[in-house]
Amino acid sequence: MTRRKFIKVLAKTGAVIVVGVSWPARVTRKFVRAIRLKDYPGSVRPLGDVSKQGKWSG
């Protein structure tokens, strides 16, 4: 093997390793259904009077 061929093989192998290692980090995970987050990030209050008609449209 000539020195030039050896460098080519080395570069190719290196590129394959770099792509292979970085692939899982680049993959995007896809979801339709989300998983429930237990703690609400806002403030939590007790249930109010539900018998009143809603003030919101709809």
Residues that bind another protein (CB under 8 A): 25, 27-37, 40-48, 50-58
Residues whose CB falls within 8 Å of the CB of residue 9, separated by 6 or more in sequence, listed in order:
1
Distance (Å, whole) CA 22 – CA 45: 45
Taking the complex as a whole, the smallest distance from the CB of residue 18 to another protein amounts, in Å, to 18
- Pick 1 or 48: Cβ nearer another protein: 48
In single-letter form, the type of residue at position 39 comes to: D
The CB-of-22 to another protein minimum distance in angstroms stands at 12
1/34 with CB nearer another protein:
34
